[in-house]
Amino acid sequence: MFIGDVLAKAGDLEGSKVRVCGWIHRIRDLGGVKFVIVRDRTGTLQTVFKKSELGEEVLEELEGLREECVVCIDGMLRRAPTKEGFEVAASSLTLLSRPLEPLPLEVHSSLKAGLTTRLKYRWLDARNPLVSGIFVLKAWVARKFREYYSSQGFVEIFTPKIVASGTESGANVFPVLYFDRVAYLAQSPQFYKQFAVIAGFERVYEIGPVFRAEPHHTVRHLNEYHSLDIEVGFIESYHDVMDYVEGFFRKLAEDLREVEDVLEAHQAPRIRIPESGAPRIPIRKAYEILESEYGKRIPYGEDLDPEGEKLLGSYVREKYNSDLVFVIDYPWRVRPFYAMRKDDEPEWTYSFDLLFRGLEVVTGGQREHRYERLRENLKDKGLKEEEFQYYLEFFKHGAPPHGGAGMGLERITMQILGLQNIREARLLPRDTERITP
């Protein structure tokens, strides 16, 4: 039985025999009485061994016991002035495994170690409840994503991660040997989710890994991460896509109490989204706000830099009491060729980014679904049509207007919990320096 279950039913189980299995979290040895705190995924529970009750022999078995030994302990559950309100009066202990060497990382205080050390010994670090909580929350976000979009009539798809070319410039992809040819790890499911819409599924979503071969050195980039992707056909405008994205975040905000324990442990605040909706600010307006409010100048027609995003994040927080802000109508020159350009001003696009507490966590927009326009876009970007031939083919036989978005699962997790480094939100991060463990 999980410790969490024992504690949940403690009222009924009081006075009866229980068995708890897990790792030894702490030992407090007072000589004639020994407290052994056991930890499993669901919590910790104190067990107590008394010499006067058990005799010398049982106590001797505890010699050499130390932190992170794997044990099962049998005993009687009773009330006690512990944090949990209960303890197990132990009758026996079964030792299943013990550390062969001094621990390179102390589990109960692993967060005091440097991130490099923690990642090197991640199997120890992840035993810290504060750490495993991150991944419980991450799994919860993924589940909410599935639930929300399924409920909105979306179908989950599973697209190839080995691909023939990148989706944009092709510069930032990892090559892999594919029999006698070179293939690449997918940097985005972009083309295939559009494929799925055109193939008649109309509304699709996918949770999958994406690979970016950029040598970045920052706290918000990984070379492998999980992308939450959606794509929707028959939209009226890119606002429909934003509505779907906002709906998902609203769902997260509403249901956040389901993961209250994790939030409390990380002292994470609620997600604030105004009743009227998250503000949608054209980037040209954002330039003005940054300049007038903060004296921050972004060159006209450029993307926001990280500082600009942070500032805009605090602006909407104060002005709209919102953790979310859509920045819309990005310049054509900073967006990929498949973005739809605005009818009346082709230097701008029907696209958006979503900033969550000042960090870009979602990118999306309406896609160009008209074959000839797509060819023009490619040409305008200086891309070779031949390289995107297979993609262009999709659009020859009836492609509805559509749009979609890609969201970074680790970035969302990081922003919900206020983590300082995205690597914390990835069990085994892949970055420029790290491919093990």
Partner RNA sequence: GCCGCGGUAGUAUAGCCUGGACGAGUAUGCGGGCCUGUCAAGCCCGUGACCCGGGUUCAAAUCCCGGCCGCGGCGCCA
Residues 30-49 that bind RNA (CB under 7 A): 30-33, 35, 46, 48
| Count of residues interacting with RNA (CB under 7 A) | 71
Q: Is residue 333 involved in binding RNA (CB under 7 A)?
A: no
What residues numbered 240-299 form the site for RNA, per CB under 7 A? none
Q: Give the sign of the dihedral formed by CA 200, CA 206, CA 208, CA 214.
A: positive
Report the C-alpha gap between 79 and 72 in whole angstroms: 20
Exposure of 428 in the CB half-sphere (CA atoms within 13 A): 6
* Residue whose CB is less far from RNA, 295 or 398: 295
Q: Is residue 172 involved in binding RNA (CB under 7 A)?
A: yes
Report the C-alpha gap between 369 and 197 in whole angstroms: 11
- Who's near 189: CB < 8 A, 6+ residues apart? 159, 206, 208, 210, 227, 229, 406
Q: Is residue 115 involved in binding RNA (CB under 7 A)?
A: yes
Walk across the sheet containing 175-178 and list its strands.
Answer: 162-163, 181-185, 175-178
* Residue whose CB is less far from RNA, 196 or 361: 361
Q: Is residue 100 involved in binding RNA (CB under 7 A)?
A: no
- Residue 9 beta carbon to RNA: minimum distance, rounded to whole angstroms: 20
Q: Say what the alpha-carbon torsion angle 66, 69, 74, 78 is, to the nearest 10 degrees.
A: 60
* Residue whose CB is less far from RNA, 40 or 229: 229
CA-CA distances (angstroms) from residue 194 to 150, 157, 163, 402? 18, 11, 15, 8
- Residue 40 beta carbon to RNA: minimum distance, rounded to whole angstroms: 17
Q: Which of 402, 400, 333, 394 is nearest to 367 (CA)?
A: 402
* Residue whose CB is less far from RNA, 40 or 360: 360
* Residue whose CB is less far from RNA, 104 or 346: 104
- Helix segments in 104-237, DSSP class H: 115-120, 122-125, 129-151, 190-196
Radius of gyration in angstroms for the set of CA atoms belonging to the chain, rounded to a whole number: 27
What residues numbered 309-328 form the site for RNA, per CB under 7 A? 309
What residues numbered 400-419 form the site for RNA, per CB under 7 A? 406-408, 410-411
- Phi, psi (rounded to 5 degrees) for 37: -90, 120
Figure out which of the listed residues 12, 56, 109, 179 binds RNA, where binding follows CB under 7 A: 109
- Residue 372 beta carbon to RNA: minimum distance, rounded to whole angstroms: 25
Q: Is residue 421 involved in binding RNA (CB under 7 A)?
A: yes
Q: Which of 317, 263, 268, 261 is nearest to 289 (CA)?
A: 317
- Residue keyed to tokens 């024992």: 6
Q: Is residue 163 involved in binding RNA (CB under 7 A)?
A: no
* Residue whose CB is less far from RNA, 61 or 303: 303
Figure out which of the listed residues 116, 150, 151, 237 binds RNA, where binding follows CB under 7 A: 116
What residues numbered 189-248 form the site for RNA, per CB under 7 A? 212, 214-223, 225, 227
Report the C-alpha gap between 187 and 225 in whole angstroms: 10
What residues numbered 62-81 form the site for RNA, per CB under 7 A? 64, 66-67, 80-81
Q: Is residue 422 involved in binding RNA (CB under 7 A)?
A: yes
- Residue 234 beta carbon to RNA: minimum distance, rounded to whole angstroms: 23
* Residue whose CB is less far from RNA, 217 or 397: 217
What residues numbered 348-377 form the site for RNA, per CB under 7 A? 353, 360-363
Q: Is residue 129 involved in binding RNA (CB under 7 A)?
A: no
358 within 8 A of 314, measured Cβ to Cβ:
yes
